[in-house]
Amino acid sequence: MFNKKTGFMMMLLLAFSIVLAACGSEDSSSGTEGDKGYSKLLVGTEATFAPFESMNDKGEIIGIDVDVMNAIGAEIEAEVEFKNVGWEPVFQQVTNKELDLGASGITITDERKQTYDFTNPYYEATLMIVVKEDSPIATLAEIEDKKIAVQINTTGHEAAKKLQGVGSSKILAYENQPIAFQEVINGTAAAAIGDNAVVLEYLKNNPKSGLKAIESSEFEKEYYGFMVKKGNKELLDLLNEGLQKIKDNGKLEEITGQKID
Q: Is residue 231 part of a domain?
A: yes
Q: Are residues 231 and 102 in the same domain?
A: yes
How far apart CA 93 and CA 84 sit, in angstroms, is: 12
Please report, in tens digits, the pLDDT of each residue of the chain (261 residues total).
445 444 445 554 445 444 444 444 343 345 544 445 689 999 999 999 999 999 999 999 999 999 999 999 999 999 999 999 999 999 999 999 999 999 999 999 999 999 999 999 999 999 999 999 999 999 999 999 999 999 999 999 999 999 999 999 999 999 999 999 999 999 999 999 999 999 999 999 999 999 999 999 999 999 999 999 999 999 999 999 999 999 999 999 999 999 998
* CATH (domain of 152): 3.40.190.10
Q: Is the link from the previous residue into 51 a cis peptide, with omega within 30 of 0? A: yes
Cα-Cα-Cα-Cα torsion 118, 120, 78, 86, nearest 10 degrees, comes to 40
Burial class (CB in 10 A: 0-12, 13-18, 19+), 1: exposed
pLDDT of residue 30: 55
User: Contact 178/202 with Cβ under 8 angstroms?
Assistant: yes
Q: Is residue 13 part of a domain?
A: no
DSSP code, position 120: S
Q: For residue 233, what are the β-bridge partners?
A: none
Domain containing 248 equals: 32-124+222-256
What's the structural domain count of the chain? 2
pLDDT of residue 166: 96
Q: Are residues 120 and 131 in the same domain?
A: no
Q: Is residue 16 part of a domain?
A: no
Whole-prediction pTM value? 0.84
Q: Are residues 114 and 242 in the same domain?
A: yes
Q: Is residue 76 part of a domain?
A: yes
Q: Is residue 115 part of a domain?
A: yes
Q: Are residues 56 and 79 in the same domain?
A: yes
Q: Is residue 249 part of a domain?
A: yes
Q: Are residues 226 and 208 in the same domain?
A: no
Q: Is residue 105 part of a domain?
A: yes
Q: Are residues 40 and 163 in the same domain?
A: no
pLDDT of residue 188: 98
Q: Are residues 107 and 53 in the same domain?
A: yes
How far apart CA 128 and CA 125 sit, in angstroms, is: 10
